[in-house]
Structure 1
Amino acid sequence: MGYADLLKKWATSHGDVEAVKQGNKVYTYKKLNNRANQLAWALLDAGVSKGEKFGTLLYNSPEFLEIMFGLQKIGAIPVPINFRYGFTEFEYIYKNSDISGLFIEKKFVNKTRNFFKTRKITNIRHTFVVDAPPDQDFSDMYNYEKFIKDKSETNPDINIDDEEAAFILYTGGTTGYPKGVIYTHSNLYAASYLTPTHGAKLIAEKKIPETILLPPSGLKMKFLIPTPIFHISGILTIITQIGLGNFIVFPVNSSFDPEEICKIIQDEKITTIFMVPTMYRIWLDYPDLDRFDLSSLTVLGSGGAKMPREMKIEILEKFPKVTLVDGYGSTETVGTSTIAFMTYEDIPKIKRGYIGQLVTGMEMRVVDENMKDVPIGEVGEMIFRGKNVMKGYYKDPLKTERTIEKNGWLHSGDLCRMDKEGNIYYVGRISEIITSGGEKIYPMEVEDYLKTHPKIQDVAVTGVPDKVWGELVTALIVLKPGNDMTPEEVIEYCKDNIASYKKPRIIKFVNRLPLTEVGKPHRVEIKNLALSLVGAELPEEITEKVVIDRVVVKEVEEETESKVVLDKKRKD
């Protein structure tokens, strides 16, 4: 059974219920299913076969949902692509994914034509302009509305096995080129019920409020999703809410606009919003936030990047009646693997790095490099097993074999500690560990401590090569507006509070840090920036994205105001 059968189910059982809204555009479940069926039949009439892959260069919109389901109904595979990519990144995904068609915004028509011409792309058979007026023609592309017009609204009778590919989603590429993660229909089903099942269990145990899954009296569940749909956070939220038959609202603006977010919450009586920490920071800093009635909010969800403890507390103090939902997940597990439900009363118990507990329906172990379970409280790699674990990496069997054990355990590459109550605390990536003087240092621990300084807005810690120490702990620091700070102040702040070997040996103040589209630290670019500012040679092992990253380094370097402390012989 294909995942799109869920849409068919809801269209049959409560077809007149609203499914998705954007501005003045509203689709019921029946309309969403009918339009997905029209696309499915149009593609079949155009000769599209099961297994063909279609890229999407689209903003959040109801059309994205109908395209996703329309493709899945005939066994074709959606491949969401980051619309901010340049030609180099797009060409990599184009070649790696074997897409034969594209769905694009009208805004990207010229960009797409230029890409085809300059990169000599000849085997894209179908390109559809999704938001073009129905009467607009293109010499080399299809008008999407014309393409599906007058097609049958009945469900195509095509057998879809639940172990067939339903999606290929590319990772964010924070440590190298993106990897194409294959999701089966079974993966999507599993991911869509994991969080609701876990929430229902905790509600039954009276550990969290019912408003996690049920609306307050007089309201209905409405989910606002500004998170981009080319990212796993957006995809997971969509498949979960469609799986539950809930109502999704998309912002109109393609760029994050805190005023629009506030207006939508107020006008639509939004109960739940899902955003990444960067969006929350912009939203919380919006000066007119208190001018809007945001009282309908009952759940604030976060993901895509680690939310600092200070931000969690700030949110719960600002909105004491909401439940803050945060956790840990990865593209390889279709998102959520651990989850934390936090209320205002939980503030005293919120610890640094806390990512909740394992969701119901998954297995997890914390292991050493030999796959042996580590003792409670010690650091080890998180490995996962469950129905939501990806099928593998597209066209990369070797990397798949290295990531997924034969017995189904997925290596996350992430480190954590677990206490005896099952609470999990994120430590960092294995690949980010700094080895200095024989000691292992987890960058996130140093970052979290430095962020407690009242003058520091953000910080990234990495290692740069050193002949004596192996690596030197290097801190790139962004100060809060209007503040000034010296390296000596940073060192003094670390004194007696973190281990001497963890203290930064190189300190540089920058105007901004390289981040991914969802606000995660871009570790390759951060490493390259640190090396560039320090003047060190690029190590041989960091080669995958040099061409792309050097441009970013130059852009950041031009904005950078550096103050350096470099004393290899300093005594602690």
Structure 2
Amino acid sequence: MGYANKVLEKLVQNFGDLEIVKHGNNTYTYNKLNNRANQIARVFLDLGVKKGDKYGILLYNSPEYLEIIFGLQKIKVIPVPINVRYGSTEFKYIYENADIKGIFIDNDFVEITKRVIKEQKFEKIEHIFVLNGPIDKNFSGMINYEKIIQDKDTTNLEIQVDDDEIGLLLYTGGTTGLPKGAMLTHANLYNATYLTPTHGMKLIKKKKIPAKALIPPSGMKMKFLIPTPIFHVSGLMPVLTNLGMRHLMIFPVNKSFSPKEICQIIQNEKITTVFMVPTMYRLWLTYSDIDKYDFSSLTMITSGGAKMPKEMKIQILEKFPNIVLVDGYGSTETIGTSTIAFMIHDDIPKIKKGYIGQIVTGIKMRVINEEGENVPVGEVGEMIYKGKSIMKGYYKDDIKTKEVFNDEGWLHSGDLCKMDNDGNVYYVGRTSDLIISGGEKIFPGEIEDILRTHPKINNVAIIGKKDDIWGQIVVAFIKLEPAEKMSSTEVTDFCTSKIASFKKPRIIKFVSSLPFTKTGKLNRIEIKKQAENLT
């Protein structure tokens, strides 16, 4: 049974009038979400769209985003979320790689869509559905979304969708090269929806975490603020989870991240839970007017998408001592959470660097060495996974798929970690980022975490540079806080006594900015290119 049938249609049966998603003044119940999904499904049937065709979604977070995903899934058409920050070259790559037959776009993207299609002669793109604005009637295939769905039948369709069919094609962030399309089946999506809640409820029953982590206090309604974009797994996962848990999701109206808007929504809507990536939390926590707002409704603060530094975890728990802090760790290939950490204020003394919690119920994980053998407790190795939420493979890339899955079906994450005797997992870094200097293994994240504690340093990137004598040497790219000055000697002196001498940066480059990918992660490929000519 397909995801939309198994989850959305079943929720409609018992909770049809319950409000589930809000965007500005636009609020959807389960009934409205399902009805409009059925309408877009019927539009596609009338247009003769075929099973397995792929349709891009180039939209900001909105209820319409969800109805499009579910509507396509109901008729075996594959949704392909696309990063709204991409430029024409990246759009071209996704259109070609995903074999896009049509696309849903916000009015903001009409001109760039027309330009890319004209320049690249994408004749196979048959339909361009435009939301939130007028269409260009002279451009072939352009359709007003609201007009075409408004009179369609809203009843459920009788189409059998198998669990193993592709329910979503979600592209990775592309931090190690071009983005790869992770094929997520309907079964993957279903199992991912309930991973975190199932794990959390087990911990509540064992009294290991407070009930308010998942169950709203008496008289309160669980309201979940999600500013992270749905085209990224850090936006998709909280959406799926809250859809299944029947918590009202609220999307910000601003098209770019606004700390002020986050504060206003939490106060005015009495938000109980917020999900953001660490970069968003950094901007929010340093917002000059943050203390002018009432955050007393908050019971849980959640994070994912990137590793949250120890210092930020402590900062959040000290600022909001009554909340539960949840930090999830995973990837597009695992559809989000693989390990998860629940923390309260009393846990502050126990929080260690790199801590990413424990393995989520329903996921199997091993930590292995280069020979594929399990490493002893406390030693660093690569995390590999098995589970019902793990992707089927990469679209049109059998070579990469075979590289990440071993013969026994374990997914190689490329992430390095270590575990202690209690099952706690500590993130160390990426296998591709590992620096080996004079035979010693050096993990960039360790050095970055230390340097970020210096009051003059805003951000830092550590990479390895080829060296004829040492094999590789450590290079630091450092962005200082505004108006601050710092010498290379100050940097190395700060590292003394904190890390071994062989881990100290040999080359230090102060920069005005650091390059990031379109998904907000450090672009280490670009940083390594910049390091090539440094001496």
Instruction: Trace 1:172-187 onto structure 2 (pairs within 5 A).
Output: 172-187=173-188
Task: Please tell me whether residue 497 in structure 1 is matched to residue 498 in structure 2.
Answer: yes
Would you say the 8 A contact 2:475–2:531 is kept in 1? yes
Please report how far the alpha carbon of residue 139 of structure 1 lies from its aligned counterpart in structure 2 after TM superposition. 4.4
Partner residue, 1:154: 155
Partner residue, 1:551: none
Write the letter of the residue equivalent to 1:236.
M
CA distance in 2, matches of 1:267, 1:37: 33
Please report how far the alpha carbon of residue 296 of structure 1 lies from its aligned counterpart in structure 2 after TM superposition. 0.7
Partner residue, 1:380: 381
Would you say the 8 A contact 2:192–2:336 is kept in 1? yes
- Can you list the C-alpha shifts for 1:364-417, whole angstroms capped at 9, x where unaligned? 000011110001000100001000110000011111111112322100011001
Partner residue, 1:570: none
- Can you list the C-alpha shifts for 1:117-152, whole angstroms capped at 9, x where unaligned? 11121110111002236x995643000011112100
SS at match of 2:203: helix
Q: CA RMSD in A?
A: 1.3
CA distance in 2, matches of 1:406, 1:75: 30
CA distance in 1, matches of 2:331, 2:264: 31
Write the letter of the residue equivalent to 1:118.
E
Partner residue, 2:363: 362
CA distance in 1, matches of 2:530, 2:310: 26
CA distance in 2, matches of 1:119, 1:524: 27
SS at match of 1:301: strand
SS at match of 1:103: strand
- Can you list the C-alpha shifts for 1:491-545, whole angstroms capped at 9, x where unaligned? 111123211111100011112211223432111112122225x1xxxxxxxxxxx
Partner residue, 2:334: 333
Partner residue, 2:219: 218
CA distance in 2, matches of 1:343, 1:526: 36
When the two structures are superposed, what TM-score results if normalisation uses the length of structure 1? 0.91
- Can you list the C-alpha shifts for 1:286-321, whole angstroms capped at 9, x where unaligned? 111111111111111111111111111111111111
Write the letter of the residue equivalent to 2:182.
V
Given the superposition, is the C-alpha separation of residues 298 and 138 from structure 1 closer, same or farther in structure 2, using an over 3 Å criterion?
farther
CA distance in 2, matches of 1:338, 1:138: 51
CA distance in 2, matches of 1:512, 1:299: 32
Would you say the 8 A contact 2:465–2:472 is kept in 1? yes
Task: Please tell me whether residue 34 in structure 1 is matched to residue 49 in structure 2.
Answer: no
CA distance in 1, matches of 2:513, 2:56: 32
Please report how far the alpha carbon of residue 474 of structure 1 lies from its aligned counterpart in structure 2 after TM superposition. 0.2
SS at match of 2:476: strand
CA distance in 1, matches of 2:345, 2:138: 55
Partner residue, 2:2: 2
Would you say the 8 A contact 2:417–2:426 is kept in 1? yes
Would you say the 8 A contact 1:182–1:392 is kept in 2? yes
Partner residue, 2:456: 455
Partner residue, 2:292: 291
Partner residue, 1:397: 398
Percent identity, aligned pairs only, is: 62
Which has the higher mean CA deviation after the structures are superposed, 54-63 or 403-412?
A: 403-412
- Can you list the C-alpha shifts for 1:143-185, whole angstroms capped at 9, x where unaligned? 0011112100011111000110000000000110000000000
- Can you list the C-alpha shifts for 1:227-265, whole angstroms capped at 9, x where unaligned? 011100101111111122221110001100111111111
SS at match of 2:378: coil
Partner residue, 1:254: 255
Would you say the 8 A contact 1:278–1:518 is kept in 2? no
CA distance in 2, matches of 1:74, 1:186: 16
Would you say the 8 A contact 2:107–2:131 is kept in 1? yes
- Can you list the C-alpha shifts for 1:403-441, whole angstroms capped at 9, x where unaligned? 112322100011001001001100101111112122221
Given the superposition, is the C-alpha separation of residues 32 and 137 from structure 1 closer, same or farther in structure 2, using an over 3 Å criterion?
farther
Partner residue, 1:554: none
Write the letter of the residue equivalent to 1:256.
F
Q: How many residue pairs align between the two structures? A: 533
SS at match of 2:228: coil
Would you say the 8 A contact 1:276–1:518 is kept in 2? no
Task: Please tell me whether residue 521 in structure 1 is matched to residue 522 in structure 2.
Answer: yes
CA distance in 2, matches of 1:77, 1:366: 34
Structure 1: where are the runs of 5+ without partners? 535-565, 567-572
Instruction: Trace 1:423-442 onto structure 2 (pairs within 5 A).
Output: 423-442=424-443
CA distance in 1, matches of 2:253, 2:267: 15
Write the letter of the residue equivalent to 1:353.
G
CA distance in 2, matches of 1:499, 1:259: 42
Would you say the 8 A contact 2:86–2:518 is kept in 1? no
Partner residue, 1:559: none
- Can you list the C-alpha shifts for 1:456-505, whole angstroms capped at 9, x where unaligned? 22111001122122211000111122321110011111123211111100
Task: Please tell me whether residue 165 in structure 1 is matched to residue 166 in structure 2.
Answer: yes
Instruction: Trace 1:11-160 onto structure 2 (pairs within 5 A).
Output: 11-132=12-133, 139-140=139-140, 141-160=142-161
Partner residue, 2:234: 233
Would you say the 8 A contact 2:20–2:30 is kept in 1? yes
Write the letter of the residue equivalent to 2:424.
N
CA distance in 2, matches of 1:265, 1:452: 29
Structure 2: where are the runs of 5+ without partners? none
Task: Please tell me whether residue 280 in structure 1 is matched to residue 281 in structure 2.
Answer: yes
SS at match of 1:457: strand
Please report how far the alpha carbon of residue 186 of structure 1 lies from its aligned counterpart in structure 2 after TM superposition. 0.4
Would you say the 8 A contact 1:277–1:519 is kept in 2? no
Would you say the 8 A contact 1:52–1:99 is kept in 2? yes
CA distance in 2, matches of 1:317, 1:517: 31
CA distance in 1, matches of 2:321, 2:444: 32
Given the superposition, is the C-alpha separation of residues 508 and 246 from structure 1 closer, same or farther in structure 2, using an over 3 Å criterion?
same
Partner residue, 1:539: none
Q: Which portions of structure 1, spanning 4 or more consecutive aligned residues, are displaced by more than 6 angstroms? A: none
Partner residue, 2:372: 371
Partner residue, 2:444: 443
Would you say the 8 A contact 1:221–1:271 is kept in 2? yes
CA distance in 1, matches of 2:138, 2:145: 11
Which has the higher mean CA deviation after the structures are superposed, 399-408 or 252-261?
A: 399-408
SS at match of 1:72: helix
Please report how far the alpha carbon of residue 334 of structure 1 lies from its aligned counterpart in structure 2 after TM superposition. 0.3
SS at match of 2:528: helix
CA distance in 2, matches of 1:257, 1:468: 48
CA distance in 1, matches of 2:171, 2:401: 14
Would you say the 8 A contact 2:223–2:250 is kept in 1? yes
SS at match of 1:381: strand
Would you say the 8 A contact 2:330–2:338 is kept in 1? yes
- Can you list the C-alpha shifts for 1:302-351, whole angstroms capped at 9, x where unaligned? 11111111111111111111111103101110010000001111111110
Write the letter of the residue equivalent to 1:115.
V
CA distance in 2, matches of 1:256, 1:452: 25
Write the letter of the residue equivalent to 2:272.
T
CA distance in 1, matches of 2:289, 2:491: 34
Would you say the 8 A contact 1:221–1:272 is kept in 2? yes
CA distance in 2, matches of 1:417, 1:120: 50
CA distance in 2, matches of 1:420, 1:100: 51
SS at match of 2:333: helix
Write the letter of the residue equivalent to 1:498.
I
When the two structures are superposed, what TM-score results if normalisation uses the length of structure 2? 0.98
